[in-house]
Amino acid sequence: MPAEIGTVLVTRRFGDEENKQITSYEANGGYKIARAAMAKSPEEIVDQIKASNLRGRGGAGFPTGLKWSFVPKDATDVHLVVNCDESEPGTCKDRELVYWDPHLLIEGMIIAAHTLGAVHNYIYIRGEMMREYAVLVKAVEEAYARGYLGDKIMGMGNQACHITVHRGAGAYICGEETALLNSLEGLRGQPRLKPPFPAIKGLFGKPTVVNNVETLMNIPFIVDQGGQWFADLGVGRSGGTRTVCVSGHVEKPGVYELPMTITFRELIDDICGGVWKGRKFKGLIPGGTSMPPLDESEIDVPVEFDALMTDERIKPVEVTAGVNFDMGGGRELRTMAGSGGIVVFDDQTDVVALTSRIMGFYHHESCGQCTPCREGTGWMDKICKRLMNGEGKVGDVDLLGNIANGIAGNTICALGEAAAWPMMGFLTKFRSEFLAKEVIGKSEDGEGEAA
């Protein structure tokens, strides 16, 4: 049976200061699943995770069981790293998850570490999240004191599991897994070329699995109740529930754990109290600002991973006449579930100003290693700003499309796409608003100038 509204796993302790303490966590069965998992073989657990259809909640939706199986079986010195950087604009679920249920994350990590044979493990948390950092440090200390972490965990002579909580300095790019690993190693937070992938050569050159906070918090439920149970909660190839964070122009913004089957329209109207101030809906960003937007005609699609990429009701992105961007696997770019950061905007929103704000962010956060991203994000930022300020030139709209097209697929990491995809999406779905600004800004003779 697919989950219904009100079925909650990872957010079940939200709002309860008492229940997030270790005594209360234990009293409600906490750490029993990790203890039971110690008796299971890694193969058995990986099989359950694969059967569960758990997909990474960090952005790409990659199958977690498959990712774990990439670590070579005879590997030594494996590391597990939790990505708690949560830097994607519009995304604020991981900080809440960590704050309200730190022991669920630690329990998920212990099970994952046992499965991967990982001894020295890390939680990389965004520097600004001081409140959550303090909660995590306390929870890790409590887990050490109770013997859930240490050299011989749970009284077992052959099992060691250590966790270090490490604060980043607050750079968007350090959420990208290889930049994160560089930052953990004390290097400049810049992405590495792949391959080799972290599962083969990651932290300190050793096989490493990087997983998002929410991904790992689902692990105890799967190990306890079985992969099939978790798969059945979801739909198709997406198991379990989805935690989304809704912001922008709705009456009730917030972090919500929901069935995969709920549509964006239901989410806005039934969960978030509708568009604010009695205004009309104009569009939304479905999974952090790096994802192409949806307009009013496209929001009867479920929040599930595959629907966002393949549903025929979502228009494929067309950048300039005759140019379609292919996101791989032969699919034209529609959009993706991404980080779960849903940003709703009403009918009074200036889409060009919104896009300009987004491009400014990616320009600022580009690490500068690759020319298409370093220069292209800067050009898109500059052109969007001049359009927004009424100084646009004839040809600017096509120019933006061509620049975005030149970035996507031509960079070391996906920050390039994170800037190019929304640019293409906004240009396609709200093209007339960009063209209107181009006309307003053209020179008096109507010719305009080159960029």
Ligand X SMILES: Cc1cc2nc3c(=O)[nH]c(=O)nc-3n(C[C@H](O)[C@H](O)[C@H](O)COP(=O)(O)O)c2cc1C
Task: Choose among ligand X, ligand SF4, none what residue 366 binds, the Cβ cut-off being 5 to 8 Å by kind.
Answer: ligand SF4
Structure tokens at 238: 């997406």
**DSSP bridge partners of 55:** 63
Site for ligand SF4 in 179-198 (CB under 6 A): 191
Residue 267 engages ligand X in binding (rule: CB under 6 A): no
Token pair 């599962």: residue: 199
Site for ligand X in 385-414 (CB under 6 A): 413-414
Task: Choose among ligand X, ligand SF4, none what residue 373 binds, the Cβ cut-off being 5 to 8 Å by kind.
Answer: ligand SF4
Q: State which residue, 48 or 215, has the beta carbon closest to ligand X.
A: 215
Distance CA 207, CA 426 (A): 39
Give the residue from 365, 13, 359 showing the smallest Cα distance to 173: 365
Length of the chain in terms of residues written: 451
Q: Which stretch binds ligand SF4 (CB under 6 A): 265-273, 336-344, 363-371, 423-431?
A: 363-371
Residue 413 engages ligand SF4 in binding (rule: CB under 6 A): yes
Q: How far is the CB of 364 from ligand SF4 (least distance, A)?
A: 11
Residue 96 engages ligand X in binding (rule: CB under 6 A): no
Q: Which stretch binds ligand SF4 (CB under 6 A): 267-275, 307-315, 319-327, 365-373?
A: 365-373
Site for ligand X in 211-240 (CB under 6 A): 211-212, 215
Residue 87 engages ligand X in binding (rule: CB under 6 A): yes
Q: Which stretch binds ligand X (CB under 6 A): 18-26, 98-106, 170-178, 432-440?
A: 170-178
Amino acid at 3: A
CA torsion sign for 335, 339, 340, 344 is negative
Structure tokens at 310: 């393949």
Give the residue from 16, 82, 104, 93 showing the smallest Cα distance to 303: 93
Longest dimension (CA), the chain: 82
- Edge-first strand order for the sheet with 79-84 is 162-167, 120-125, 79-84, 208-212
Contact 443, 449 (CB under 8 A): yes
The DSSP element (H or E) to which 363 belongs, if any, is helix 351-365
Task: Choose among ligand X, ligand SF4, none what residue 354 binds, the Cβ cut-off being 5 to 8 Å by kind.
Answer: none
Interface positions with ligand X (CB under 6 A): 56-60, 62, 67, 83, 85-88, 173, 175-177, 210-212, 215, 413-415, 418
Interface positions with ligand SF4 (CB under 6 A): 173, 191, 366-370, 373-374, 411-413, 415-416
